[in-house]
Amino acid sequence: MYKTQTNEKVDNLLDVTELSVFYGKLQAVKNVSFQLPKGEVYAVVGANGAGKTSLIRGIYGIAQYTGSLKFNNVSFTPKTNRFKAGIAHVPQGRAIFGDLTVKENLSIGVLGIKNKTSQLEYLLNLFPILETRLNKQAGMLSGGEQQMLAIARAMMSKPSLLLLDEPGMGLSPKLRMEVYESIKKLLDHADHDMGILLCDQEIGYALRIADQLSVMQKGQFIWTGDTGSVTIEELSAKYMGLKA
């Protein structure tokens, strides 16, 4: 916990201090620090190769990293099991099982998790399109539906932190907006404290749903602020090369 300038107490879900991520000698993330308070969406935007995926991989413990990671005020080591701790990761490219049905996809990875049925009901309420597709092969769904399925599947374990890597990738603007609206609803409707770390290439969608945003370039955060304090035009003009 820390105090803001207004002395309001903020309960941090994730505290990242001087995180660096390496692939052998290549340093993809360079001393990045930020805090994700409970109940918020934190967006990291940046162009191809900026280091967004590596940041997520470091936090999830699947890439070599240095620095300090605290989750709910508990320090992580590289070996801490993130899934068991309450973190879910939706990697780039959806990662669903195309040959299995929607229902089967949702049942995977929740062995030992209590209240599966109520969580399934809650998620189908949030993503009604999935309810109409339950017995359909996941590979036959549209891109937006597959993305919603990937997010819903990650949510089956009732995580406190959801790591989303470019959830709108490859989707039309309309589908993309639908997916982003669903992401925002996750926080609005969750029955427990949770937060979302969202990585994206485009500022516009991220600005709409995030509370705080950092612009990443060459492994570093070059701008961080509240999303209410800046416009898409200001950010994209300042950081040429990023799409609004």
Q: Would you count residue 135 as binding ligand ATP (CB under 6 A)?
A: no
Residue 50 found at the interface with ligand ATP (CB under 6 A): yes
What whole-number distance in Å separates Cα of residue 190 and Cα of residue 25? 41
Asked if 51 is part of the footprint of ligand ATP (rule: CB under 6 A), the reply reads: yes
Rounded CA separation 85/215 (Å): 28
Stretch that binds ligand ATP, among 3-11, 50-58, 122-130, 152-160 (CB under 6 A): 50-58
DSSP 38: T
Cα distances (Å, whole numbers) of residue 109 to 74, 97, 128, 154: 24, 12, 21, 8
Which helix (H) or strand (E) segment holds residue 55: the answer is helix 52-60
Please state, in angstroms and rounded to a whole number, the distance separating the CA atoms of residues 181 and 170. 17
Residue found under tokens 């982003």: 180
- Does residue 49 bind ligand ATP (CB under 6 A)? yes
From the CB of 53, what's the least distance to ligand ATP, in Å?
3
- DSSP 8-state class, residue 228: G
Q: Is 54 in the site for ligand ATP (CB under 6 A)?
A: yes
In this chain, which of 46, 144, 159, 195 binds ligand ATP, going by CB under 6 A?
A: 46
> Hey, which residues between 193 and 232 contact ligand ATP (CB under 6 A)?
201
Residues that contact ligand ATP, how many (by CB under 6 A): 12
Region binding ligand ATP by CB under 6 A among candidate stretches 41-49, 77-85, 120-128, 140-148: 41-49
Task: Pick one of 2, 17, 18, 23: the residue that binds ligand ATP (CB under 6 A).
Answer: 23
2 sits near ligand ATP (criterion: CB under 6 A): no
Q: Which residues contact 26 (CB under 8 A, 6 or more apart)?
A: none
Per rule CB under 6 A, is residue 53 in the interface with ligand ATP?
yes
Minimum distance from CB of 208 to ligand ATP (Å)? Answer: 19
CA distance 107 to 222: 40
> To which residue do tokens 């599966």 refer?
116
Q: Which residues lie near ligand ATP (CB under 6 A)?
A: 23, 26, 28, 46, 48-54, 201
